Amino acid sequence: MEIKEYVKQQKEALIKEISELKVTPSFVIMQVNDDPASNAYIKGKIKDANEVGIQVELKKFPIDISEADLLKEIEKVNNDSRIHGLIVQMPLPKHINEEKVKLAVSPKKDIDGFHPLSSINPCTPKGIIDYLKSEHTDFVGKNAVVIGRSNIVGKPLAHLLLKENCNVTILHSKTKREDMERYIANADIIAIAIGRCEFLDDSFSYKPTATIVDVGINRTEEGLKGDAKRGLPVALQTPVPGGVGLLTRLSLLKNLLEAYHHEIKD
Ligand code: NAD
């Protein structure tokens, strides 16, 4: 099923599920920047939440808020049982330590899945695995190649693919071209998250049965493009736009519900 249709159906199921809950699920977004990309992401998150009946509050702080004051604000939300999730929008200004902030968010409310003790998975990798499962992708004993090793996509995605019993290889900026060609030619699942426009192209060989998951978002004069050239000779290739970005947004809503159910159980 196309990702757009899949996301639409999943959202309809969420609307039904949320409408039957006694307490409305809610989360807070904290923003300490005036970055246009962050503004756009936040707008998207609020729109998605409202669409399915989740309450969301944006707390925008002045750019010169001290680290200590921001940590206090996080603690307040951590201790507020009426709020089930908390996102601190990155990037933060230089005087605030991002790692410290990520660790300050309660693992139970960490719907971004950034906290090492959080049982919640980061949104992009989770969205990818959920979608591939809905497509009945065969994971067991299959060769999965993840290109890119960031903490928010590459590494957690490799971890989730391993959990599904794939043979996982991570390739990165120091991987030699000849090795990359060899791994890609043998791969059943290729996920790319490097931010290099159309890096995967016709110069590589692919298994015709392979799946390419294109995470990359590259802004070009011709609009948004992925890390893979469109129309590669494989069985399934996720589009950009209208692909992994939508799956990531969907995962945030699902993660909030997961946090909600934890909170209610406690
Ligand atoms: P990043 O930008 O933090 O790091 C890039 C990674 O790519 C590094 O691990 C590096 O080793 C690797 N890399 C760079 N050049 C390479 C090359 N030539 N060959 C092999 N590996 C190379 O990574 P990120 O934050 O995961 O973002 C990657 C891309 O994914 C960006 O385009 C970003 O916008 C996009 N992204 C999309 C979503 C979504 O929801 N669609 C979510 C997160 C990130």
Q: Which of 10, 31, 48, 89 is labelled catalytic?
A: 89
pLDDT at 266: 67
How far apart are the C-alpha atoms of 215 and 210, rounded to whole Å? Answer: 16
Please give the distance, rounded to the nearest whole angstrom, from the Cα atom of residue 165 to the centre of ligand 1.
Answer: 24
| Regions of the chain with pLDDT less than 50 | none
pTM: 0.96
CA distance to 111, 121, 133, 240, per residue, from 136 (Å): 26, 20, 5, 21
**60 forms bridges with which residues in the sheet?**
31
CA distance to 55, 78, 201, per residue, from 206 (Å): 44, 47, 10
pLDDT mean across residues, the chain: 97
Please give the distance, rounded to the nearest whole angstrom, from the Cα atom of residue 215 to the centre of ligand 1.
Answer: 8
Q: Ligand 1 site: residues with CB under 6 angstroms?
A: 124, 147-150, 152-154, 171-173, 175, 193-196, 215-218, 244-245, 248
Using DSSP's 3-state secondary structure scheme, residue 256 falls into: helix
User: For residue 243, which atom of ligand 1 is closest to its CA?
Assistant: 41
Q: Where are the beta strands (DSSP E) in 63-195?
A: 85-88, 143-147, 167-171, 189-192
Please write the tens of the pLDDT for every residue from 25-51: 999 999 999 999 999 999 999 999 999
How far apart are the C-alpha atoms of 57 and 150, rounded to whole Å? Answer: 29
| Whether residue 45 lies in the annotated active site | yes
How far apart are the C-alpha atoms of 173 and 176, rounded to whole Å? Answer: 8
pLDDT at 250: 98
Closest C-alpha to ligand 1, atom 25: 150
